[in-house]
Structure 1
């Protein structure tokens, strides 16, 4: 069983734009490709786990998600980085889907398909839903202050159920912490 780093997409890898309803709205955050490349070099699986309810809300077709992910993969590849898999929940929050974060469905599926030990893994996100997801599967949760992160930290003080194991300025700092932590815990 392998250790993995689960990354939320919007606000962690790419700029938070609300709903990305056109390819022109997708932009990698500075340093995100280099951070993912560092994880690749250390042999950690990198898995994107993202809620994309814009499909259920009819803001854009499901095919656009694939186009955005193809673009993301290509932009990362151009900078020497890669993701091992992408898992997407396209359901609206009120549908009760077991794969919609913070529910564990996406990560449980990834763990089964990719041979991942969730208890030795990490979840990086800009929302407290990501931190709750980490707690729900026994992983370590890292809140990044990019995207919605700073607002989540400041506005939901005391309303959170799960606390992050680490708070990072961005994905680069999160990866530095993950690599130190993984080295300490073998």
Structure 2
């Protein structure tokens, strides 16, 4: 079975609610956070797959069309690829925040569906996010949870950014592997 890292998008990969951008509604509004391409490159060297799993309620609320969101994701993946960082696939929940769908985090359907599609051992995989809903979704799916921010009591680890989290994830996965 394969191993993967699932990354939330806004606040993990790109800026959101920053001086430059409030929300990403166009490709030109996507600004990578410091160290993100390097972190993904490091994770690519150890994991079979890196995915983006994101709630994008702006589609359901009418702030952007689904085709615009796909353009943003295609742009993000292409820009990361230029840096040698590979994202296998970006999946999203386009529904309104209170729509009650199965795919919106903290539900785990997006992660579980990718797990089935790519034959992933979720118990050997990680969900990285900047909200408790990301960590809860990962836990429900059976992954370890890595929180980017100050603290999250549900997370297995907490780091200020993806580049420092990547080092821990690789070290943790390596030590888990040696115990199997």
Output the TM-score relative to the length of structure 1. 0.89
C-alpha separation in 2, matches of 1:108 and 1:80: 27
The residue matched to 2:158 in structure 1 has which SS?
strand
C-alpha separation in 2, matches of 1:94 and 1:28: 28
Taking the TM superposition and a 5 Å limit, the aligned residue runs for 1:106-125 are: 106-125=110-129
* In the alignment, structure 1 residue 100 sits paired with structure 2 residue 104: yes
> Where in structure 2 are there 5+ consecutive unaligned residues?
none
C-alpha separation in 1, matches of 2:37 and 2:122: 23
Taking the TM superposition and a 5 Å limit, the aligned residue runs for 1:35-54 are: 35-54=39-58
Instruction: Tell me how large the CA RMSD over aligned residues is.
Output: 1.3
C-alpha separation in 2, matches of 1:166 and 1:43: 18
C-alpha separation in 2, matches of 1:164 and 1:85: 24
C-alpha separation in 2, matches of 1:43 and 1:116: 11
Deviations 1:104-160 (A, max 9, x none): 110111011011111111000000101111221121100012xxxx4xx4xxxxxx7
Q: Which moved more, 1:76-85 or 1:21-30?
A: 21-30
> Where in structure 1 are there 5+ consecutive unaligned residues?
154-159
Aligned to 1:171: 162
